Structure formats: structure tokens, C-alpha cells
Amino acid sequence: MLPDIEKLLELQAADKEIRRLQDEVASLPKRVAVIEQKLAGTKAQLERARTAAKSDEANRKKFEANIKDLQGKISKYRDQSLDVKTNEQYKALLHEIQFAEQEVRLNEDRILEVMVSVDAREKEVKAAEAELKAETTEIEQEKEDARKVTAEDQKKLAEWNGKRDALRREIPEDILRQYERVAKFRGTGLAEVRDQKCMGCQVKLRPQTYNEVRNGEKVMICESCSRVYYFNPANEVKPEQEVVTVTGRKRARPKTDAPQAWFYRPDYGEEGEVLLAFTNSGGNSTRRIYEMHTGRQVGGVLLREGSYRLAFPEDLTDSALRLNGHWDEKDIDEWGSEIPSNALDLLHKDILAIQREHRAGHKDHSAARAEQPAAS
């Protein structure tokens, strides 16, 4: 890999870490603000409960004063009743007394209501006070944590900014400008090239461009997304899996004694076209069947005693075409119910290569036959 590209990758890592730290620093006050808002809500609730308790108290006093007044009136009416001259006057006073007594009872009922309410209010105030206390502790803790994390983040930010500045000084200005301009608009300024594709925009590279990127002779830029290309051989399809040369005429021959064998069958009962994978292991063999076009597994894994040629004779008919392809059985297990597209592509290409060979073989024969009469 070109040293400039290596530095750009480091720069990208630094940029990413700086962004993460900045986001974290920005998010901390927001978290504190959320708790502070909750705290304000609890404070308001407590205030309301206290005001309600006060008005209950005032009401109770009012009802008590009412009763006192009424009792004063009653005793006054009683005194007056001793001096009345007529029966009518006596009846009128008695009526007044009865009315006042009724009012006293009403006020007593109100006081009882208030007392019940006071109990509920007291509980409400106590709960709000406890909540306020807990939230105050929580916010103090949160603020303390935020202060600590922010201080640590600021320190890390200073370090990363230093690293970033140093890297920027080491990268040629035009490359740096390209990287930073694209990163600003697209989020990333670098794109990996994998399986002949730009992983930034998924556009396929022309073979020549692809080779140039692989060879890593110069810094190259994606024509479609403007990101700077990099190539990581570790992420590329492994050479032993790269069994088919797309442009080459000759197709690689699979080994007959390989512990794993892939076959194509165009006529597999109801399934039609399928891929068969056999693996020999420890005196046994397994068989997996996949739908040819989609790569979806049909049925489960079948295990039989003996190597696959002996164990699965009914599958290896004359129409079965032996394909190139080998993957660890562990990997195949990890595929789950579907062959991944890169593996499926390789198998499909091999089928095409076989068909091409067959056609070429027929053409050669017919050409040879056609030439004979002319030669004689």
C-alpha cells in the first residue's frame, strides 16, 4: 500500500475518533439538561402540593370560625326565646335555631372532608420531597460524571488533534485537499476497492483501473464518487477460491481426490437445476443441496458413512458436472441457508466456463468436419 494512502487511512481513523469525542462532549450537557427538566417538574409538583395543603388549612380555619359564629347565634336565640311574648315569636326563634344547628353540622362535615384531604396532601408532599432529594443527588452525580468525562475527552481530543495535524502535514497537499473535500460532503473521503467494486459508491471498476489500484503505484480517485481508493489484499477473495479466470480460455481442473467437491446437476428431480456440495471427513461424508440460481439451500445436511463417491452414488449421474470450489466446512455452516453472492458468482462462472468449453469443443469438431471435404 502506498505510504500516502496508509497515512490517509490513519487520518480517517483520527477524524472518526475526533468526531466521536466531539459528539460525546456535546451530548453530556444535554443529558444533564434532561434531568434538570425532570427536577424542575418535581419542584413544581411539590410547590402545588404545598399550596394545596395551605388552602386546606385556611379552609379548615374558615369552617371552624363559621361554627363558632353559628354557636354564638344559637345561644343568642336561646336567650331571646326566654323573653318572647307570643307563640309565633317562639316558633320563629326555634326555626332559626334549627337552621343554625343544621349549618353547624354542614361545617363539621366540611372539616372532616378537609382532614381527609390533608392526609392525602401530606403524603403527596412527602413523596415529592423524597423524589426531589433523589433527583438532586442524581443530577449532582450526573454533573460530576459529565465533568470527568468531558475533561478526559478534552484531553483525548487534544492528543488526537495533535496526531491529526501531524498526519496532515505529511500528506501531499493535493491528495489531502481531495480527501477532505469529499469527506466533508460524503462523510468519508476514502473508499475501499473490493471484488473490483468501489465500496463507497458500488460502481464497478474497469479492469485496467482495478489493476492499477491493486498494484498501488499511484493515488487513484473514484470517477463516480470522487473518493480516494485504497486496496486491502486481506479483504479480497482468497486466491484458492479464485478458481475461474473470467477472460482466460482454459478452465482450472478440480482435483479428483479433493476432500470437498461441488457439482452442478441440471436435472435434479423437482428442484431442477441444483448445486451439490460433498465433503469427506473422518470416514463419513456430508451432502448439501442448493438451488442453482438463488443459492438457497434445499433441505438439510445429509451425513452418510464412507466417502461421498461411495455414499451418494445416486447423485453422481452422468449429467453431474464437477465444479471448482472449496470452502471450509465451518464457513459453509456459517453461510446458513444461502450461498453468499461472491461464492455463488464463482460457481456460476465455472458453470459458464464449462458450457463455453463444451461449445468450443463442438465448434472445433464441426469446423474440422467442414474442412475435410475442401481439403480433399
Minimum distance, C-beta of residue 173 to Zn ion, in the bound complex (Å): 22
Minimum distance, C-beta of residue 229 to Zn ion, in the bound complex (Å): 8
Minimum distance, C-beta of residue 174 to Zn ion, in the bound complex (Å): 19
For Zn ion, which residue of 225, 320, 321, 354 counts as binding (CB under 5 A)?
Answer: 225
- Reading the block at residue 125, the C-alpha cell is 408532599
Whichever of 224 and 241 has its CB closer to Zn ion, that residue is 224
Whichever of 84 and 225 has its CB closer to Zn ion, that residue is 225
Whichever of 100 and 198 has its CB closer to Zn ion, that residue is 198
Return the bridge partners of 264, or none: 275, 321
Whichever of 213 and 275 has its CB closer to Zn ion, that residue is 213
Using CB under 5 A as the binding rule, whether residue 53 contacts Zn ion is answered as: no
Using CB under 5 A as the binding rule, whether residue 295 contacts Zn ion is answered as: no
For Zn ion, which residue of 32, 139, 149, 201 counts as binding (CB under 5 A)?
Answer: 201
> What gap in Å lies between CA 31 and CA 146, rounded to an integer?
9
Task: Give the range of 93-101, 126-134, 216-224, 341-349 binding Zn ion by CB under 5 A.
Answer: 216-224
CA angle at 91 for the pair 90 and 94, rounded to the nearest 5°: 85
Whichever of 68 and 181 has its CB closer to Zn ion, that residue is 181
- Reading the block at residue 201, the C-alpha cell is 459508491
Minimum distance, C-beta of residue 239 to Zn ion, in the bound complex (Å): 25
Using CB under 5 A as the binding rule, whether residue 221 contacts Zn ion is answered as: no
Helix residue ranges per DSSP H, the chain: 3-83, 87-170, 173-186, 207-215, 308-311, 329-335, 341-375
- Reading the block at residue 296, the C-alpha cell is 438457497
Residue 103, CA distances (Å) to 59, 63, 92, 109, 328 in order: 16, 10, 17, 10, 96
Whichever of 61 and 204 has its CB closer to Zn ion, that residue is 204
> What gap in Å lies between CA 14 and CA 12, rounded to an integer?
5
Minimum distance, C-beta of residue 8 to Zn ion, in the bound complex (Å): 15
Minimum distance, C-beta of residue 224 to Zn ion, in the bound complex (Å): 5
Whichever of 227 and 288 has its CB closer to Zn ion, that residue is 227
Whichever of 208 and 376 has its CB closer to Zn ion, that residue is 208
Lookup result for grid cell 453431474: 320
Looking at residue 238, the DSSP 8-state letter turns out to be: P
- Span 161-200, contacts to Zn ion by CB under 5 A: 198, 200
Whichever of 232 and 281 has its CB closer to Zn ion, that residue is 232
For Zn ion, which residue of 222, 243, 311, 351 counts as binding (CB under 5 A)?
Answer: 222
Size of residue set near Zn ion by CB under 5 A? 6
Task: Give the range of 148-156, 217-225, 254-262, 299-307 binding Zn ion by CB under 5 A.
Answer: 217-225
Minimum distance, C-beta of residue 190 to Zn ion, in the bound complex (Å): 10
Question: Do you know the residue count of the chain?
Answer: 376
User: Is-contact 311 305, C-beta < 8 A?
Assistant: yes
Parallel/antiparallel/unpaired status of strands 228-231 and 197-198: unpaired
Return the bridge partners of 284, or none: 281, 305
- Span 107-126, contacts to Zn ion by CB under 5 A: none
Helical packing angle, 3-83 and 87-170, nearest 10°: 170
Fill in the amino acid letter for 160.
Answer: W
Residue 360, CA distances (Å) to 175, 254, 369 in order: 48, 20, 14
Using CB under 5 A as the binding rule, whether residue 347 contacts Zn ion is answered as: no
Minimum distance, C-beta of residue 247 to Zn ion, in the bound complex (Å): 24
Q: Write out the residues near Zn ion by the rule CB under 5 A.
A: 198, 200-201, 222, 224-225
